[in-house]
Amino acid sequence: MDMTGEYRISAPREVVWQALNSADALKACIPGCEELAKTSDTGFTATVVQKIGPVKARFNGEVQLENINAPESYTIRGEGKGGVAGFAKGGADVHLADDGGETVLTYKVNAQIGGKLAALGSRLIESTSKKLAAKFFENFQTYLNDGGAGRAS
């Protein structure tokens, strides 16, 4: 599945970039994220509970940041194992553009799902992904509005 999108975030690019590299920020904003821990400067481990169609699964996975070009762009790549439910993996090219003190974030996602997730949820993956992306950016904006650290508990 391929998906692209664009969001305008009311915060300066540098702030957005910092948040996008922060385990606390990502944990607070990724829908269903139960745990997210930094394992290196560019790596995280994560546990995310997600529901796609009738399949609910807890994904344990690793996330890597690649092609880092601060504070403008990176590629975020991850793979999550959902046990009996299957797996999800993919990457997103994320680009930040400064626009009058605000930031325009564009992304290009490529994702794959497998196992029961694909058998039951392939028709729903796109709509679910869009919903999750919208939710992420909504959380992200709120996180930044609240000053970040306040939400990062």
Partner 1 sequence: MSTGIGARVKRKEDKRFITGQGRYTDDVRVDNQAYAAFVRSPHAHAKVTSIDKSEAEAAEGVIAVLDGRQLTGDGIGNLICGWAVSSKDGSPMNMGPWSALATDRVRYVGDAVAVVIAETKQQARDAAELVAVEYEELPVVASSTAALEDGAVQVHDNAPGNIVFDWEIGDEAATDAALAGAAHVTEMRVVNNRLSPNPMEPRSAVAIYDSAEDHYTLYTTSQNPHVARLVLSAFYNVAPEHKLRVIAPDVGGGFGAKIYIYPEEITCLWASMKTGRSVKWTADRSEAFVTDAHGRDHVTHARMGFDANGKIVGFKVDTHANLGAYMSLFSSATPTYLYATLLSGQYDIQNIYGNVKGIYTNTVPVDAYRGAGRPEATFLVERTMETAAREMGMDPAELRRRNFIGSFPHQTPVIMTYDAGDFAGNLDMGQAAADVAGFPARKAEAASRGKLRGLGYSCYIEACGIAPSAAVGSLGAGVGLWESAEVRVNPVGTIEILTGSHSHGQGHETTFAQIVGERFGLPIENVSIVHGDTDKVQFGMGTYGSRSGAVGMSAIVKAMDKVEAKVKKIAAHVLEASEDDIVIEGGAVKVAGTDKQMLWHEVGLAAYTAHNLPAGMEPGLKETAFYDPVNFTFPAGCYIAEVEVDPETGVTKIIQFTAADDFGTVINPMIVEGQVHGGAAQGIGQAMLEGVVYDEDGQLLTGSYMDYCMPRADDVPFYRIEHNKTICPGNPLGMKGCGEAGAIGTPPAIINAITDAIGNNDLQMPATPLKVWTALQAAQKPMAAE
Distance CA 117, CA 142 (A): 30
CB atoms within 10 A of CB 105: 19
| Residue selected from 113, 129, 140, 144 as contacting partner 1 according to rule CB under 8 A | 113
Give yes or no for residue 119 binding partner 1 (CB under 8 A): yes
Distance CA 88, CA 55 (A): 12
Closest distance to partner 1 from the beta carbon of 49 (Å): 12
Give yes or no for residue 32 binding partner 1 (CB under 8 A): no
Taking alpha carbons only, the member of 142, 110, 137, 146 closest to residue 7 is: 137
* Type of residue numbered 71: P
Distance CA 3, CA 9 (A): 19
Nearer to partner 1, 54 or 101 (CB): 54
Give yes or no for residue 86 binding partner 1 (CB under 8 A): yes
Closest distance to partner 1 from the beta carbon of 42 (Å): 22
Give yes or no for residue 123 binding partner 1 (CB under 8 A): yes
- 75, 94 contact by CB (below 8 A): yes
Give yes or no for residue 49 binding partner 1 (CB under 8 A): no
Give yes or no for residue 23 binding partner 1 (CB under 8 A): no
Interaction site with partner 1 (CB under 8 A) = 53-54, 81-87, 112-120, 122-123
